[in-house]
Amino acid sequence: MKKKVHEHHHRTLVKSISWFFIGFIIAFTVLITFTGDPAAAARDSLLIQMVKFVFFYVHERVWSKISYGQAVHEDPDTSFE
C-alpha cells in the first residue's frame, strides 16, 4: 500500500521564509558590491525578495500537488508484538 506524500502549508511557509533571508543576503551582497550604496542595496534587495517570496511559495504549493519524481518507501515494521 502506497502512502501519499503531501507537504503542509506551514512547511512551505518556513521554506519560503528561509529562502527569503538567504536570497536577501545574496542580493544585498551583489548589489552593494556593484553600487556601493548600502541603503539602495537594502531597498532593492528587500523589494526583489518580496516578489520572489510570493512566487516561490506558489511554486512550492503547485509542486507539492505533483507526484512526479516522488518515491515513498515504507519502513519495515521493527516493532515486536
pLDDT at 29: 97
Collapsing DSSP to helix, strand or coil, 2 comes out as: coil
Q: pLDDT tens digit string along 30-71? A: 999 999 999 999 999 999 999 999 999 999 889 888 878 777
Count Cβ atoms within 10 A of the Cβ of residue 13 and give its class: 0-12 exposed, 13-18 middle, 19 or more buried.
middle
pLDDT at 71: 74
pTM of the model: 0.68
Q: What is the rounded average pLDDT of the residues 20-27?
A: 94
C-alpha cell at 50: 518580496
